[in-house]
Amino acid sequence: MKKTITETMFVEAFDYVDNFSRKGLRALYEALIDYEESTGEEVELDVIRLRCEYAEYQSALEVALECGKKASSEEEALEYLRENTFVIEFDGGVIIQNF
């Protein structure tokens, strides 16, 4: 038995998690829906797994620096991230699949 999760339900499921902003959660939800539609594979709402698998940052530069990659611009940092992991860009930051 499957239950369809709306964006609101998805965001509310993370209410106790401080790793993501509301904008970030909405972007993650949209990315997961896009994944389901493009692959035909359903994604289970497992907050703990998603929290461990994805991380939100204010900028790609922040991620690159944390990974030890020197980047001179946001675009250069995004290029590095896109080559190494799944990146979700949104107004307010980026979410990456941890690698």
Q: What is the pLDDT of residue 1?
A: 61
Q: Note the pLDDT tens digit of each residue in 20-75.
A: 999 999 999 999 999 999 999 999 999 999 999 999 999 999 999 998 898 999 99
Q: Shortest CA distance to 21 belongs to which of 96, 95, 86, 87?
A: 95
Global pTM value: 0.88
pLDDT at residue 80 greater than cutoff 70: yes
Q: For residues 63 and 77, is the Cβ–Cβ distance under 8 A?
A: yes
- Neighbouring C-alpha atoms within 13 Å toward the C-beta of 27: 21
